[in-house]
Amino acid sequence: MTTVQILNGIDTIGGNVVSFTNGSTQLIMDLGVNFAPHLPTASDLYAEGLLPQVPNLFTNEKTREEQPVVFISHLHLDHMGALKYLTRATDVYMSPMSYKLYQSLVQQGLETAPSNAKLHLLEPNIPYQFGNLTVTGYVSDHDEAGALMLKVSDGEHTFVHSGDVRWNGPHPERVTHWVNLLQQETVDLLLLEGTEFSFDNDDKTAGFTEQTLQEHFQKILVASPKLVVINPYERNVERLAALIQSAQSAGRQIVWDQEFSQILQDVLQIDALVLNQDVTWDAIEQNPQAYVVQNHFKDLRELNHFTQPFRYLHLNGEPLGDYDPRYQALVRYLKQRQVALELLGASGHAKTTDLVQIAQAVHAKLTLPWHSFKPERLADALKAQGLPVQVPVKNEIFEF
């Protein structure tokens, strides 16, 4: 018998954790943690239920003889942020691209070194056997280049963790590929993210895609004589590379901080210009229309070296949203500088219509919506299409 337990992440955007157990083998898919700055320690997070209740992973109590094996669908904090809290040696699998990015983030001090995580590569399209369970990862499209869809099989049943996914990004063929593969077999359980069902505006076609974001970015660079400052997210390395190309097309060069430039070198082998090393603030002051400056929130005061007006584009960098107290600090600083906060982001998540289409194509015996503030909205949309669906509750167990 295989049991599937939803440990976290049902009615939140993030903190996703699901367990697959067969005999003595337990596989944990994703190990995210929700934003909770008021709970600084692992024991606090565990006590409040923000870490999944898996004693072997997060306490000194050992309830299973065989240590669980962890799989990370992608490197966003809400899917892997709890790795640093592991209390004993644990095998952790992720895609080669995610592994490369993770190593760079740790070296740059942008991610805490996971002392108890024994990292392994999960090569795409290759089945990995763990007891009676087989895990196969398929390259997907999200705003982290190493994102995977994860499939688990016990020989009789097939379970699918979609991971975070979009179908209107730069690699729709990846999603089409794994959707087509799943159509050729019987999927017993599909865990499907429902992020875009969280919001009331229900904008099925509005908003930037990665492509239109770059087009708009180029227009800003061409039209503005001012210095343009950008705040992107370091884990979206494909967007960083595209920003460099867009800036070059507009006759500008992007100047990066040391951390971002090292990530570009480590992950994509791109030699980037480094602020205060290759380009100085004096040079930027003299010719602002020739440059774009990347600025991380923690280095916000670095912009004091530039005395002229500038434009500030927030490209999904930190702080990630207004739920973070740092967001208001950013707003206050820009107001003091008389600079508008311009939001120029693109979602890494599928449109509502695309999520329904994915579920229809896979046509699982049962679909579980999660990773959404409003999972019931996705459930209702799927029920309207005649699909079997159930909104799970935390720690609910499904037996196969």
pLDDT digit string, tens, across residues 17-64: 999 999 999 999 999 887 666 556 778 887 777 888 898 988 888 888
Task: State percent of the chain over pLDDT 90.
Answer: 83
Low-confidence winner among 75-79, 293-297, 299-303, 317-321 (lowest mean pLDDT): 317-321
Q: Which of 218, 201, 182, 227 is nearest to 364 (CA)?
A: 182
pLDDT in the model for residue 137 = 98
Considering the chain, what is the average pLDDT of its residues?
Answer: 93
pLDDT digit string, tens, across residues 108-121: 888 988 889 999 99
Q: In this structure, what are the phi and psi dihedrals at residue 66, rounded to the nearest 5 degrees?
A: -95, 125
Q: Do the bridges between strand 397-399 and strand 2-8 make them parallel or antiparallel, or are there none, so unpaired? A: antiparallel
In angstroms, the Cα distances linking 77 to 147, 268, 383 are: 13, 21, 31
Q: What is the mean pLDDT of residues 256-278?
A: 96
Q: What is the mean pLDDT of residues 82-88?
A: 92
Residues in contact with 396: Cβ distance below 8 Å, sequence separation at least 6, in sequence order = 5, 6
Parts of the chain belonging to CATH 3.40.50.10710: 210-343
pLDDT in the model for residue 299 = 95
Confidence of residue 388 (pLDDT cuts 50, 70, 90): very high
Q: What is the mean pLDDT of residues 134-142?
A: 98
pLDDT in the model for residue 113 = 87
Confidence of residue 15 (pLDDT cuts 50, 70, 90): confident
Q: Give the whole-angstrom CA distance, residue 14 versus residue 47.
A: 18
DSSP 8-state symbol, 169 = S
Parts of the chain belonging to CATH 3.60.15.10: 2-201+349-399
Q: What is the mean pLDDT of residues 151-169?
A: 97
CATH fold for the domain made of 210-343: Rossmann fold (3.40.50)
Residue 287 CB neighbour total at 10 angstroms: 10
Asked whether residue 197 carries a pLDDT value surpassing 60, the answer given is yes
Asked whether residue 135 carries a pLDDT value surpassing 90, the answer given is yes
pLDDT in the model for residue 338 = 96
Q: What CATH number does domain 2-201+349-399 carry, 1.20.140.10, 3.60.15.10, 3.40.50.2300, 3.10.129.10?
A: 3.60.15.10
